[in-house]
Amino acid sequence: MYEDDEADWSGDGVSLAAHQNPSDQDVEMTLRPRKLSEFVGQARVREQLELVLHGALKRGDQPDHVLFSGPPGLGKTSLSMIIATELGTSIRVTSGPALERPGDLAAMLSNLSEGDVLFIDEIHRIARPAEEMLYLAMEDYRVDIVVGKGPGATSIPLELAPFTLVGATTRSGALTGPLRDRFGFTAHMEFYAPEELELVVRRSAGILGVDLRDDGAVEIAGRSRGTPRIANRLLRRVRDFAEVRADGAVTREVARAALEVYDVDELGLDRLDRAVLSALINSFRGGPVGISTLAVAVGEEATTVEEVCEPYLVRAGLLARTPRGRVATAAAWHHLGLVPPEHAPGLFDE
C-alpha cells in the first residue's frame, strides 16, 4: 500500500531501498488501496480531495489539477490512481525526468482521452521547455507545436481533450511559481502516526495472508519511520523470518528478532543511519561537520546522506543542522550508548 515510485529511505542489512524485483512490484500493486475509503491516514487530505472530486462530478466538470507534495512513501502515487478510479477514467503515468523535450510532453498529451488523469511523478524535475508547454495545456487544454526553424518557423495550435493533471513532488520548493500556481488543489502529505501505521500493516497482512498478532503490528509500526511504504516492506521481511525461523505467526518477539537480522533498530534506524551517527560522534566528536565530509566518512554520496538519512535523523531529534555543519544531539549519544558532552544540543531540554 502507498508505494510511490520515488527513492525509498528504508533500510536493512542488505538495504531495503535496493532495486525491487518484479515480484515485489506485483505485491506493492496488490497492497495499493483502490478507493478513498480504503486509504488509511492523511484524513485532512482525503476529506479535501473528496470534496474536489465529488464536487466536480456533481457539476459535470473536469476537476482542478492536483499537486501532492511530501516525503517519499506516503501515498502520493496511490492517491493519483485513486483519483482516476473515483472519476471512472484512465490514468497515464510518467515522470518529470522523462519529459526532456516539449515533443515528449506533446505526444503524451495528444494521446489523452477526455477526462483522463495524467500523473507526473517528480514533477519538479521536468525540463523547462516542457514545463512552459505544460502551462498552456493546463489552462486552455491546448499546445502550440512549432514546425520548422528560423524565420520560416510556424506555430500550429493543437487542441487537447480536457484532462486532470496530478503532480507529485518530494521538493515543493523546487517548483517554479508559475507551475505551482496552475494547480487548483495542493496537498502536503504528513508522516503517519504509529496508530495509523498499525492499521496499514494489519490491512496489508490481511491481503498477504500473514498471521499478524496485535503486538507484532505495534512493533513493526513503531519501527517504520512514519512511512507506510517502509511499514509494508518491513512486514514482508518479518513474514519471511516468521515462516522460515518461527511458526509463521508474527508476534512482538518474532518481529524484534526479524528486524534485528535486517539491522533495523527500535527507532527504525538502519545500518547507514547508525553509520552516520557513529561517524559524527566517534570521528568528529559530535560535530559540527560538513555534509560532504560526513558522507566521505561513511563511504556514501553527499546527496544520499542529505536526502535519505538526514530527514529522519533530524525529525527523530538525533541530528541538528547548524550554520557550521551537522551536530549530533544528546539523544544520538544516548542512542549509541555513549555519554554526551555538555555542549551537545538537547542535553538539558525537558
- The answer to whether the annotation marks 32 as part of a ligand binding site is yes
Please identify which of the residues 46, 229, 237, 274 carries the catalytic annotation: 229
299 is an annotated ligand-binding site residue: no
Is 312 labeled as ligand-binding?
Answer: no
Residue 35 is among the residues annotated as catalytic for this protein: no
From the candidates 164, 169, 170, 251, give the one annotated as an active-site residue: 170
Q: Which of 4, 12, 64, 77 is catalytic?
A: 77
73 is in an annotated binding site: yes
- What are the grid coordinates assigned to 72, written together? 517519499
Tell me whether residue 268 is annotated as binding: no
Told to judge if 77 belongs to the known catalytic residues of this protein, a careful annotator would answer yes
Decide if 170 is catalytic.
yes
The verdict on whether 116 is a catalytic residue reads no
Is 135 part of any known ligand binding site? no
Of 46, 76, 225, 239, which one is the catalytic site residue? 76
Active site residue 169: no
Q: Report whether 31 belongs to an annotated binding site.
A: yes
Whether residue 184 is annotated as binding a ligand: the answer is no
Catalytic residue among 121, 263, 270, 273: 121
34 is in an annotated binding site: no
As a whole number of angstroms, the distance between CA 13 and CA 50 comes to 40
Q: Is 140 annotated as a binding residue?
A: yes
Feature table: binding site for Mg(2+)? 77
Feature table: binding site for ATP? 31-32, 73, 76-78, 139-141, 182, 192, 229
Feature table: binding site? 31-32, 73, 76-78, 139-141, 182, 192, 229, 321, 326
Could you list the active site residues? Answer: 76-77, 121, 170, 229
Feature table: binding site for DNA? 321, 326
